[in-house]
Amino acid sequence: RVWVLCLGDVRWLRNQVVAPLTEELVFRACMLPMLVPCTGPGPAVLACPLFFGVAHFHHVIEQLRF
């Protein structure tokens, strides 16, 4: 029943589904063209999530503060 309520809420869908997917796609679309010439395709695909995680590390610090 809770899932039905969540799926009907446009803000929940935006925050929990659409935003993470588009953020990940845009981040990879911007990072991979810069990483591939430096590292090659394989290492770039493996390193890209590490940069994504480091870019969002401030969320962990924010949670620890509050």
Active-site positions read 23, 56
> Which two tokens mark 15?
């925050």
In whole angstroms, what is the distance from residue 15 CA to residue 54 CA?
20
> Which two tokens mark 58?
């401030």
Count Cα neighbours of 2 within 13 Å in the Cβ-side half-sphere.
0
